[in-house]
Amino acid sequence: MINSVLYKIFRRDKNWDPVSLKYAEEYHQSHLNKELDSKYFKMLESAKFNYLNAKILDIGAGPGIYSVEFAKLGSILLWQDVSKSFYTIAKKKFKSKDYRVFFSLEHIEVCMKKQKDLDLIFSRLSFYYAKNDKEFFDDASKSLKINGYLLIDCNTYERFENSLSLFEKLQVFLYHKFQFKIGHPLPNHDMIDKLAKESGFIVINKEFNTKTNICILFQKIK
Ligand SMILES: C[S@@+](CC[C@H](N)C(=O)[O-])C[C@H]1O[C@@H](n2cnc3c(N)ncnc32)[C@H](O)[C@@H]1O
């Protein structure tokens, strides 16, 4: 309810950008110096995912660090983000004509509702920006092929437990206890599993480190 109101106010078509160009550039630079996280590729390899010609949607892709890797592996990539600052950076990464890439500078919900027959939806540190989690899983399910994959990586509250403000504690309480989402509190993992299951997904692989984050590979089975 509150998120639906916020969603009407903070709109991409009204030029809203949650990220300044300065922050986006700093984020990009900080990741250029880091190694890629191999766990995503390992998870997908263990599921025998075929990158060649696969249709992949990278949700909240930011500077496109992983988008570009998927494109290098021969996939058809749809970069999605609401931030024009990140769009400016990501566009430069895809200069090579060898990549097959499309851009969606829209909200998660708007982009997902237009997709179908995807092979993989990849969401690294971005799933919680969806305005409604149930809607997110329903949209994901509808836009994937049968046997398509949804890979979600997100941080957990354990990471920040000592530094939450009073308002953040209230957000977490309302969200985890009553599934009432205000803004973008980090998810409760039992809730993710339940919503995914209700939308026709099964868990294929899960890496859970309570101190840092959770990474789950789902497969759409119905
Ligand atoms: C922490 S960054 C993660 C970026 C990228 N996935 C990565 O792993 O480097 C979160 C991203 O979500 C995007 N974002 C925030 N709200 C969004 C929304 N409502 N719809 C789509 N993307 C959104 C931000 O612009 C940002 O690029």
Residue 89 is assigned to a structural domain of this protein: yes
pLDDT of residue 161: 65
Residue 93 is assigned to a structural domain of this protein: yes
Q: Is the pLDDT of residue 211 over 80?
A: no
Ligand 1 atom closest to residue 62's alpha carbon, by position in its atom list: 27
The rounded Å distance from CA 124 to ligand 1 centre is: 8
pLDDT of residue 109: 94
Q: CATH code at 91?
A: 3.40.50.150
The rounded Å distance from CA 178 to ligand 1 centre is: 25
Helices and strands, counts by H and E, the chain: 9, 7
Joined together, the tokens standing for residue 119 give 């092979």
For the segment 24-64, what is each residue's pLDDT rounded down to a tens digit?
A: 999 999 998 899 999 999 999 999 999 999 999 999 999 99
For the segment 59-85, what is each residue's pLDDT rounded down to a tens digit?
A: 999 999 999 999 999 999 999 999 999
pLDDT of residue 222: 86
For range 193-198, the mean pLDDT = 93
For range 115-123, the mean pLDDT = 98
Task: Please state the domain count of the chain.
Answer: 1
Rg of the chain (C-alpha set): 17
DSSP structure string for 123-144: EES-GGGSS-HHHHHHHHHHHE
Joined together, the tokens standing for residue 140 give 């994901």
Query: In terms of residue numbers, what domain contains 89?
Result: 2-29+37-158+189-220
The reply to whether ligand 1 has any atom less than 6 angstroms from the CB of 153 is no
The span from the first CA to the last CA of the chain, in angstroms, equals: 29
Q: Confidence band (pLDDT; 50, 70, 90) for 14?
A: confident
Query: Residue type at 63?
Result: P
Residue 166 is assigned to a structural domain of this protein: no
Residue 63 is assigned to a structural domain of this protein: yes
Core vs surface per residue 109-145: b (16+ CB within 10 A) or e: ebbbeebeebbbbbbbebbbbbbbbebbbbbbbebbe
- Distance (Å, rounded) from C-alpha 222 to C-alpha 219? 9
Closest residue by CA, ligand 1 atom 13 = 60
pLDDT of residue 114: 97
The rounded Å distance from CA 79 to ligand 1 centre is: 11
Residue 126 is assigned to a structural domain of this protein: yes
Decide if 157 contacts 210 (C-beta within 8 A).
Answer: no
The reply to whether ligand 1 has any atom less than 6 angstroms from the CB of 65 is yes
The rounded Å distance from CA 129 to ligand 1 centre is: 7
pLDDT of residue 5: 75
Q: How many CB atoms lie within 10 A of CB 23?
A: 13
CA 167 to chain centre: 24
The rounded Å distance from CA 62 to ligand 1 centre is: 5
The reply to whether ligand 1 has any atom less than 6 angstroms from the CB of 28 is no
pLDDT of residue 116: 97
Q: Lowest mean pLDDT of 131-135, 139-143, 167-171, 207-211, name the range.
A: 207-211
